[in-house]
């Protein structure tokens, strides 16, 4: 006697299968769990799962007692692990709000084998992060997707309590190449409509403009760069371990010296303003070997920092 595929409530069979698909795309579930969630008998649910396996090539049956069913989408298990490592790097840098990253990490990890899930480390909680970033980033991203403009007050760097009102059409939501801090590039709809880049951590009172969406403007072509800069660097101590782990794609293949230090080269556009701050962030973990102008700049900044560190604190330090 065959098991009917239609429950007593006469819900059309395609709707039943779509309902199962939606449940199986969220997390692995047993046939009993699916029966409870859909209000059907276990026999009917099992029959529907058999039919769904012929329609959904990505439906997998995970071994166990009881077996679990899941629709994994287009990602393989190895691809999911790669994406989760990327989420871990973002969380460690504090470049994205932690809560959405944890939700994405859970969704990526859910179809993986239990022994892999148990070994995956939890996402790091950054020591410091803009408090309002979790509110700003979704608004900015959705405005870009919908082709809508934004209005916000921009906190000017280095100017206490100085703000500038900005009305802007988003062009690109991206990340700083070194710090991974979220950035927004767009064209201001007032003045000369210049294309500018803003740090999300300095955007206050973000509002999505109403009205008919407009097509996103085409990004301006990059400004032709002059000759590139090739920096020769040597990493020591704990810094060399981070370089050997391959966290920095912009560095060359490392050369390991007999003393354990690691030598690499770094390619950057000539006149780049991000190279020196990145080098200084390593402290004593890096030595700049060349070229001579960059080495002199690096040494000058270190001497200035040492002088500031050795100077006596001002008499009014810590005063209210």
Binned at pLDDT 50, 70 and 90, residue 295 comes out as very high
Binned at pLDDT 50, 70 and 90, residue 157 comes out as low
- Residue of 4, 44, 174 lying closest to 19 (CA atoms): 44
Structure tokens, 84: 């989760």
Query: Each residue of 103-145: pLDDT tens digit?
Result: 889 888 888 888 999 999 888 776 555 557 778 888 999 999 8
Binned at pLDDT 50, 70 and 90, residue 152 comes out as very high
pLDDT of residue 320: 47
Query: Each residue of 9-37: pLDDT tens digit?
Result: 567 888 888 888 888 888 888 999 999 98
Mean pLDDT (whole number) for 299-304: 93
Residue 70 pLDDT > 50, yes or no?
Answer: yes
Residue 66 pLDDT > 90, yes or no?
Answer: no
d(CA 163, CA 161): 6
pLDDT of residue 3: 43
| Torsions phi, psi for 99 (to 5 deg) | -60, -50
Which strands form 195-199's sheet, in the order they lie side by side? 195-199, 182-188, 163-175, 150-155, 203-208
pLDDT of residue 1: 38
Instruction: For the chain, give the mean pLDDT.
Output: 81
Q: How many H-runs (helices) and E-runs (strands) does the chain carry? A: 10, 11
Mean pLDDT (whole number) for 46-69: 85
pLDDT of residue 311: 86
* Comparison of pLDDT for 241 and 131, the residue scoring more: 241
pLDDT of residue 159: 53
Residue 6 pLDDT > 50, yes or no?
Answer: no
Mean pLDDT (whole number) for 255-259: 92
Mean pLDDT (whole number) for 77-103: 83
- Sequence-distant (≥ 6) Cβ neighbours of residue 118 within 8 angstroms: none
Domains of the chain in sequence order: 13-71 (1.10.10.10), 77-119 (no CATH), 133-208 (2.30.30), 228-310 (no CATH)
| Torsions phi, psi for 304 (to 5 deg) | -65, -40
Binned at pLDDT 50, 70 and 90, residue 288 comes out as very high
């Amino acid at each position: 006697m065959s098991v009917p595929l239609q429950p007593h409530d006469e819900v059309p069979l395609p709707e039943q299968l779509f309902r199962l698909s939606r449940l199986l795309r969220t997390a692995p579930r047993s046939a009993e769990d699916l029966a409870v969630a859909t209000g059907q008998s276990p026999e009917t649910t099992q029959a529907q799962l058999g039919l769904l396996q012929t329609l959904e090539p990505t439906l997998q049956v995970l071994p166990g007692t009881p077996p679990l069913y899941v629709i994994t989408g287009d990602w393989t298990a190895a691809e999911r692990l790669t994406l989760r490592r990327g989420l871990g790097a973002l969380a460690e840098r504090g470049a994205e709000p932690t809560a959405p990253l944890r939700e994405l990490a859970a969704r990526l990890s859910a179809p993986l084998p239990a022994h892999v899930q148990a070994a995956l480390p939890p996402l790091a909680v950054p020591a410091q992060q803009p408090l309002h970033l979790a509110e700003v980033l979704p608004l900015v991203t959705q405005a870009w997707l919908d082709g809508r403009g934004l209005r916000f007050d921009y906190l000017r760097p280095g100017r206490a309590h100085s703000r500038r009102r900005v009305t802007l059409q988003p062009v690109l939501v991206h990340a700083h190449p070194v710090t991974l801090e979220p950035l927004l590039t767009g064209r201001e709809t007032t003045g000369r409509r210049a294309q500018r880049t803003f740090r999300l951590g300095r955007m206050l009172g973000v509002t999505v403009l109403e009205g008919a969406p407009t097509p996103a403007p085409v990004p301006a072509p990059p400004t032709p760069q002059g000759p590139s800069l090739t920096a020769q660097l040597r990493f020591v101590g704990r810094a060399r371990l981070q370089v050997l782990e391959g966290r920095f794609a912009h560095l060359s293949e490392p050369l390991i010296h007999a003393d354990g230090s690691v030598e690499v080269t770094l390619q950057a556009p000539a006149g780049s303003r991000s190279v020196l701050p990145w080098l200084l962030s390593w402290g004593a973990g890096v030595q700049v070997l060349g070229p001579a102008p960059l080495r002199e700049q690096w040494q000058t900044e270190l001497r200035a920092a040492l002088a500031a560190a050795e100077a006596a604190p001002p008499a009014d330090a810590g005063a209210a």
